[in-house]
Amino acid sequence: MPRTPAPNEDDDLDDLPETHPPQPVYYAEQALLGALLLEPHRLADVTGIEPGSFSNHAHGALFAAICDQPAPDPVQHAKDTSWLNAVLAAAREQARGLTASYLHTLIQVCPWPRHASAYARMIEAEHARRTLRAHAERLALTARDVTLPQPIFATFAAADALARCVDDLAARFPPHSGSLPRPPAPPPEDAHDGNDEEVLDEERLLLATATAHPADAEQMRWLTVHDFTHPLHAGLWQCLTALTRRGAAVDPVTVLWEAQQRGLLTAGVEPAHLLGLLAGTAGSPQYWGERILQRAVLRTAQGVGHRIEAFADDPATTPYQLVVGSRRVLADLHALRTRWNHASTSAPSTSPARARASAPPRAGPPRTTAPSASRISR
């Protein structure tokens, strides 16, 4: 049985060492090419694929040559190899490792030439899986690329490209009865996001400025507790929003009391430290809220990419299951995108450099810097 050729196509394909066991699609490609070499008129039954659909470069080059060469007369084709020689010469321009013996091998390993359309469908399905995985990987890489000047918009563009790929799969592979795709393993946690002191400082600054300006915080319904990386910070944001929506008084002490009622004052979270956290204001709630939401969008996009990659890596997942699973995962990112649009079209954010004077706490002079990490136990 021929082996998968290495990227260097200069040697005979039959003589190359085997580095990885061929996947099932490799044999489908061999069967299709064998069918077309033996009975070229079967090309009329082949749809949905092109040379780039093949997982093997030499196979793609050979398919392109078959498509480019005029179909021979069936009677003449049975008598001589002139058409096969022309196909081989054309294919060797792109894959020099192809030989006449390999073409004869392809013909020999083809079970039934009349099944050419079925082989082509297998190749199409596997190419769709690879394409979807490539888009998902690009989304995950874009979301964690810290060098991008506007990462949020680059991430949305990658997500749109992924969604278009899913729509294309849905159009090419009709729905069928069957179970949903198996849930993938949880995506790897981004340790950088969860432990970055800058991230935690931004969450503390939001809580402090929102406590000083509760009217602004009340308008930020686009920010939820799920956008925070630290559980305590998420709980304090819940306390703040609960107070503002009840029309209750909001200051560090009332937030502290609400936190006690919600069971946030556990071991390691001292009231004095929490009061210090809520007193360090700088900038505006809108600015820090947008920063936190942007990180949540990028974090979610990265997780979406990893989950769809996991779907695509499971060979038991059918193309239609890929569509269903990917759309469900993308819905999470779409919901966050909707909230981001609400945030970015609301009142313009104010960066710390242009921050308006923050209202002083009820007791003591106003603070202008965030409390240090040691001020509160995480």
- Position 102 scores a pLDDT of 95
Per-residue model confidence (pLDDT) at position 352: 53
Q: Give the pLDDT confidence score for residue 15 in this predicted structure.
A: 44
Instruction: For residue 356, give both structure tokens.
Output: 């308006």
Among 44-53, 188-197, 249-258, the range scoring the smallest mean pLDDT is 188-197
Note the pLDDT of residue 339.
95
Tens-digit pLDDT profile for residues 339-361: 999 998 865 555 454 344 344 44
Q: What is the pLDDT of residue 193?
A: 52
Residue 334's contacts (CB-CB under 8 Å, 6 or more residues apart) are none
The pLDDT value given to residue 169: 94
- What residue spans define the domains of the chain? 13-111, 126-184+295-344, 191-292+348-375
pTM for the model stands at 0.79
Query: Which pLDDT band holds residue 279 (cuts at 50, 70, 90)?
Result: confident
Position 177 scores a pLDDT of: 65
The pLDDT value recorded for residue 359 is: 41
Chain centre to alpha carbon of residue 85? 45
Residue 365 has pLDDT above 90, yes or no: no
Residue 11 has pLDDT above 90, yes or no: no
Average pLDDT over residues 117-139: 96
Distance (Å, whole) CA 180 – CA 320 = 9
The predicted structure's pLDDT at residue 183: 62
Q: Which of 12-16, 99-103, 105-109, 229-233 has the lowest mean pLDDT?
A: 12-16
Retrieve residue 221's tokens: 């319904």
Instruction: Give the pLDDT mean for 157-175.
Output: 94
- The answer, yes or no, to whether residue 67 has pLDDT greater than 60, is yes
pLDDT at position 268: 79
Predicted confidence (pLDDT) at residue 373 exceeds the cutoff of 80:
no
Rounded distance between C-alpha atoms, residue 279 and residue 209, angstroms = 8
Beta bridge partners, 204, equal none
What CATH number belongs to 191-292+348-375? 1.10.860.10
